[in-house]
Homo-oligomer: A and B are copies of this chain.
Amino acid sequence: MARTTTRRSPSAGSGRRNAGTKGVPRADREEQIVEVATEVFGTQGFAATSVGDIAERAGISKPLIYNYFGSKEGLLRACLHRAIEILAGEFERIARGDAVGLERALRTLEGTFVLLERQPWIWRLFFDPTIPRGEQGIAAELALYTDRFTALAEEGVGEMMRLAGNEDPRDVSALTAVWMSVADSLVTWWLDHPDETPASMTARCVRLFQLVLGATLPPGTTAD
């Protein structure tokens, strides 16, 4: 009745004129926010990023983020959760494959390139030095995640080193760190050369492996 029309609140006082649902269900909105946040956290770092900035880029308001994620840390937690789902699954699939040694390394790189195409910053989340290292809260969770990576990488590296006759655990640890950093730097380099495709990156890696390691990779290793 009149009420419907009468409810013309827009003018009432200085109320929230742009309020009201836009018909986006919570799950969709959450995913959208997490996507934006992951990019910003991953490129600028957690400490240097403000929640307001994320809200603005996502085209929504700050309180909505707090409604859904509780806190800035909660938002980061959600980003990490999504990222680990994306990455670890793929890496574990590769690890379960039958490739070993250098070929396994190359396959991992190849998978990484395909996976991180257009969203390389996901990787950076796990190595953000600005995440508060307070012994409680997010630090433990983060360690859990990175350990999942590291264990996988360390398994591969350790395997290769065993074949070569070195089993020093500290050497394995150091070489694993180097290997993960190599993958990281290649993704970063790719970011600076956007015209490269996952396939061309893989081909480049094959060339560089052959050059640096003097290795002969089996045919068919290069993506189509």
Contact among B47, B129, B170, B207 with A204 in the assembled complex (CB-CB below 8 Å): B170
- Is A45 in contact with B129, judged by CB distance below 8 angstroms? yes
Cα A220 to Cα B185 with chains together (Å): 31
Chain B residue numbers with a CB within 8 Å of A193 are 170
Chain B residue numbers with a CB within 8 Å of A171 are 204, 207-208, 211
Answer yes or no: A166 CB below 8 A from chain B CBs.
yes
Chain B residue numbers with a CB within 8 Å of A164 are 211
- Is B185 in contact with A177, judged by CB distance below 8 angstroms? yes
State how many copies of this chain the complex holds.
2
Answer yes or no: A117 CB below 8 A from chain B CBs.
no
Q: Could you tell me how many residues of chain A have their Cβ less than 8 Å away from some Cβ of chain B? A: 37
Cα A173 to Cα B48 with chains together (Å): 28
- Is B177 in contact with A188, judged by CB distance below 8 angstroms? yes
Contact among B45, B168, B189 with A130 in the assembled complex (CB-CB below 8 Å): B45
Q: Flag A87-110 by CB within 8 Å of B: 1 or 0 each.
A: 000000000000000000000000
Answer yes or no: A60 CB below 8 A from chain B CBs.
no
Chain B residue numbers with a CB within 8 Å of A144 are none
Q: Which residues of A contact B (CB under 8 A)?
A: 43-45, 47-48, 124, 128-130, 132, 161, 164, 166, 168, 170-171, 173-175, 177-178, 180-182, 184-186, 188-189, 193, 204, 207-208, 211-214
Known: A47-B130, A171-B211, A177-B185. 9 other contacts (CB 8 A): A43-B129, A44-B129, A45-B48, A171-B204, A174-B204, A175-B208, A178-B185, A181-B185, A214-B214
